[in-house]
Amino acid sequence: MAKITLSNLAHSYTSDNEYALKTMNHVWNDGEAYALLGPSGCGKTTLLNIISGLLAPSQGQVLFDDQDVTTQDTAHRNIAQVFQFPVVYDTMTVRENLAFPLKNRKMSANYIEKRVADIASMISLNDILDKKANGLTADIKQKISLGRGLVREDVNAILFDEPLTVIDPQMKWELRTELKALHQRLGHTMIYVTHDQTEALTFADKVVVMSDGEVVQIGTPTELFEKPAHTFVGFFIGSPGMNVLGAEISGNKARIGGHELDLGHGYQNLSGKLEIGIRPEFASLSRNPDDLPITINRIEDVGHYKIVRASHQDMDINIISDEGAEIFEDMKFVSFDSSKINIYADDWLVEP
């Protein structure tokens, strides 16, 4: 296993200075489970393939522990990678497919038998070990691919690129939970690419949020929820995402339209585009005319809570309200938990 360092790394597929990955410097800890989360096209696969050695970066280095592996191919980097679509040998049985990476490494027959049985039972393939892969459904084949990625104990890291895409929703849920447990058991450094926040948040110790070729935040699920480093993280994580409202800020007060709000902290010398960020979970409907006036446009009942879609002037404000909470006609204001308000200047979080 290895700590992974990305040093001054960037990548362009073309010669016209358009960067699919913008310059980044990061250290990813040995043995941790990372999710690489961001919308389609933001550069997740590019970054993963640079880490695995399938792609050579146009700038910078990749280090495993302290060794520069930038010019090494995938095999020499000693990593396992699981792709979006299954990669299995159709003519082999499930058992032979799982054993293949170990046979290649000349492990003993005893060890292979035990290890294959172990992995097969972890991902519930033990009943079909002697079936030929040919003829199995796409999701079972993808499970075999996952198994092949997990079977070697001696890898530096295991990389997954949207591995549950072809898996049906129910099995997706099971596998997501199993992968988390497997990480805890196996202790490998794992990097899991996904555009699905639920997948990222259930799987990872740390989520790496990407937008437009840039890593905008690396944090625990709690940090991403409570302190989004960039307004993009606030929008992208949570459903609905964080409310972001243009404001004037001075000291510990924010002004929105003609209304003043208390902030939990004081801020000095702010410049640029200023906004407050408040999650719908920390906003409540109120009758108090000192609070911010709103118009309620729609109420969505989504089971264990309600989403109130409201607006103040041309700004949308979402409020999450408990299932049991009654909503009355005269609740024409919104109040925010001041300790949960974050301040953004040009989209980046500012510390008080």
Q: How far is the CB of 52 from ligand ADP (least distance, A)?
A: 13
Nearest residue (CB) to ligand ADP, 39 versus 272: 39
What does 46 interact with, of Mg ion, ligand ADP, none (CB < 5 to 8 A by kind)? Answer: ligand ADP
User: 204 — phi, psi (to 5°)?
Assistant: -95, 150
What does 42 interact with, of ligand ADP, Mg ion, none (CB < 5 to 8 A by kind)? Answer: ligand ADP
- How far apart are alpha carbons 111 and 136 in whole angstroms? 26
Only one residue has tokens 């997740």, namely: 44
Q: How far is the CB of 35 from ligand ADP (least distance, A)?
A: 13
Torsion from C-alpha of 153, 158, 162, 164, nearest 10 degrees: 10
Query: What Cα–Cα distance (Å) separates residue 272 from each residue in 275, 341, 345?
Result: 10, 18, 6
Only one residue has tokens 């639920």, namely: 198
Give every CB contact of residue 67 below 8 A, 6+ residues apart in sequence: none
Binding residue count for Mg ion, defined by CB under 5 A: 1
What does 13 interact with, of Mg ion, ligand ADP, none (CB < 5 to 8 A by kind)? Answer: ligand ADP
What does DSSP say about strands 295-301 and 305-312: parallel, antiparallel, or unpaired?
antiparallel
Q: How far is the CB of 44 from ligand ADP (least distance, A)?
A: 3
What does 43 interact with, of ligand ADP, Mg ion, none (CB < 5 to 8 A by kind)? Answer: ligand ADP
| Stretch touching ligand ADP by CB under 6 A, among 41-49, 66-74, 179-187, 289-297 | 41-49
Residue (of 148, 247, 133, 149) closest to 191 by Cα position: 149
Residue (of 219, 191, 223) closest to 32 by Cα position: 191
Tokens representing 72 are: 């090494």
Interacting residues with ligand ADP between 46 and 75 (CB under 6 A): 46
**Among 5, 45, 145, 217, interactor with ligand ADP by CB under 6 A:** 45
Give every CB contact of residue 252 below 8 A, 6+ residues apart in sequence: 262, 263, 264, 265, 266, 267
**Among 4, 24, 37, 44, interactor with ligand ADP by CB under 6 A:** 44
**Contact (CB, 8 A) for 44 and 36:** yes
Query: Is residue 43 within the footprint of ligand ADP (CB under 6 A)?
Result: yes
| Stretch touching Mg ion by CB under 5 A, among 40-48, 51-59, 197-205, 320-328 | 40-48
Query: Is residue 45 within the footprint of Mg ion (CB under 5 A)?
Result: yes
Q: How far is the CB of 205 from ligand ADP (least distance, A)?
A: 21
HSE on the CB side for 275, CA within 13 Å? Answer: 21
The beta strands (E) that lie in 15-111 are given as: 21-28, 33-37, 59-64, 67-68, 79-82
Tokens representing 293 are: 């006036």
Does residue 180 sit in helix, strand or coil? helix
| Stretch touching ligand ADP by CB under 6 A, among 34-42, 130-138, 214-222, 236-244 | 34-42
Nearest residue (CB) to ligand ADP, 41 versus 246: 41
Nearest residue (CB) to ligand ADP, 123 versus 191: 191
Q: How far is the CB of 157 from ligand ADP (least distance, A)?
A: 18
What does 266 interact with, of Mg ion, ligand ADP, none (CB < 5 to 8 A by kind)? Answer: none
Q: How far is the CB of 44 from Mg ion (least distance, A)?
A: 5
**Among 8, 41, 266, 299, interactor with ligand ADP by CB under 6 A:** 41
Nearest residue (CB) to ligand ADP, 91 versus 198: 198
Footprint of ligand ADP (CB under 6 A): 13, 20, 38, 40-46
Binding site for Mg ion (CB under 5 A): 45
